[in-house]
Amino acid sequence: CGLSSNLVKKLAKKDNRPWFMFTLSTKKASLQLNMFADATAKWAVNLAENTAVVILGNIIVGQEGPRINVKECRPLEAYVMGHIKRVTWLLHPAHPELNDFLRKLRTTLDKQVGSTLTSLGFLFEDRITAFSDVSGALGWKLTPAKFQELRQHPAVAGVQLETKHLEIADDRKWSKKF
C-alpha cells in the first residue's frame, strides 16, 4: 500500500485498450508499476494522483529483474476496514470509566451491524490477561472514525486487530495444466 502518483495513461499496441503506468510511494521506497488493460478496466476508478491505495498483484521475475503485475487497486481505507476479522480490546478492569467504554462499545455494536467480531481482555497485575469473545451476533461494521473514538477511551489499555488472509481474485482466462 502507498500513495499513487505520476499517472501516465497509455494505449495497448495490440488492441488500443487503456492501461496505466504509475508510481507507488511507501515509507521505504517508490515503485514504478504497470496496471495493464484488464486490471485498468476494473480498477482504474480507484487510481488517482496522491491517493492512498492497496495494490494486489503477482511478482514476475524476468531477465530485467522482478516486477509487479498489478491485478487489483483498491482504496486503502475501505480495503483495510473490510479485511479486519476481529478487534480485541485490552481494558483496565479497575478504571473508573470502564462502564462508560462498555456502554459505548455496546451502542456501536448495536448500531453498526456487520461481520467484524469482538473480544475483550482485562489487564491484571503482572501483565496477566483474561480474554473473552463477545457473541458473534454482535458483529459490527468497523469504521475508522468510530474505531478511533473507542480506541482513545481512557479505559482502553490497547487493541489488537486480526485481519483476513490476502487473496487475489483468479481471473484466469485459461485452465491450469496440472
Write the pLDDT tens digit of every residue in 6-50.
999 999 998 999 999 999 999 999 999 999 999 999 999 999 999
pTM of the model: 0.69
| Residue 72: count of CB within 10 angstroms of its CB | 19
Express each pLDDT in 146-156 by its tens digit.
999 999 999 99
Q: What is the DSSP string of 16-28?
A: --EEEEEEEE-SS
Query: By three-state DSSP, how is residue 54 classified?
Result: strand
Q: In the structure grid, which three cell numbers stand for residue 68, read together?
A: 509487479
